[in-house]
Amino acid sequence: MPGPSAPKWVDSGFVRAAVDQFERPLTLYAAKLLGNVEAARDVAQDTFLRLCAQPRAEVEPRLAEWLFTVCRNRALDVLRKESRMSRTSPELLEHRPAAGPEPPDLVEQRESAAQVTKMLELLPESQQEVIRLRFQNGFSYAEISRISGHSVSNVGYLLHHGIKTLRCRLVDAPALLRTCSAQGDHVHVD
C-alpha cells in the first residue's frame, strides 16, 4: 500500500522548486529574526507547509514576497511565544573556510564582509531587517513594505539612514570597534 501523498491540487513540482530556490534565504532571514538556527529551520519548513495549502495561481505571481511575509510572521509568532529576543552570532551562520590557503583578495573580501556584518549588528533591528531584505534578498521597496509592515516611504528612510550610518561607521571602524568593546558590546577588534 503506497504511503500518504500530497492532495491532488498541490503542485509538488512548484513547491519543490520554491523549496530549492528559497529554503536557504528564508532560513537565514528567520535566523536573524529568531537568533536560533534550529528554530529558523522549523519556521522555514512551516512556511513551505503553508505554501502547500495555497493555490498556486494565488501565490505564484508574488511568491518570494509571500514566502518572506509568512516566514516573518511565523518567526514573530515564535518570538512572542518564547518571549525572548536573543540574536545569533554571525559565526554560527558562516560557512567553514577551505582548508587550503586563500588568495589575498578573497581573504580581504571576507574580512570586509565580516566588518560590515559586525557594523550591521549595531544598527536598530528595523534597519537591519530592511537592509538584509534589500541587499541579501533583492526585494524592492514595495515588497519590503509588504513583508515588514513598514510603509514604502519608511522603508526608504530606514534604508537611507541605515546605509548612511554604516558608511560613517566603516570610515572610522577601528575607533568605533574600540568604543564598542570598551562599552562591553560584543564587537571585537581583530
Name the average pLDDT for the chain.
79
The yes-or-no verdict on residue 57 having pLDDT over 70 is yes
Q: Say if 115 falls within a structural domain.
A: yes
- Contact predicate 53/14, CB 8 Å: no
Domain enclosing residue 129, as ranges: 105-182
**First-residue to last-residue Cα distance in the chain:** 60
111-123 pLDDT, tens digit per residue, is 777 778 788 889 9
158-170 pLDDT, tens digit per residue, is 999 999 998 888 7
Buried b (16+ CB within 10 A) or exposed e, 131-147: bbbbeebebebebbbbb
pLDDT at position 10, please?
Answer: 64
Q: Say if 189 falls within a structural domain.
A: no
The reply to whether 64 and 111 lie within a common domain is no
* pLDDT, average across residues 28-55: 93
Q: Say if 92 falls within a structural domain.
A: no
The reply to whether 51 and 110 lie within a common domain is no
Q: Say if 94 falls within a structural domain.
A: no
pLDDT at position 136, please?
Answer: 86
Q: Could you give the C-alpha distances from 115 to 110, 129, 169, 174, 181, in angstroms and in order? A: 9, 18, 10, 10, 14
Q: Say if 118 falls within a structural domain.
A: yes
Q: Say if 87 falls within a structural domain.
A: no
Number of domains into which the chain is organized: 2
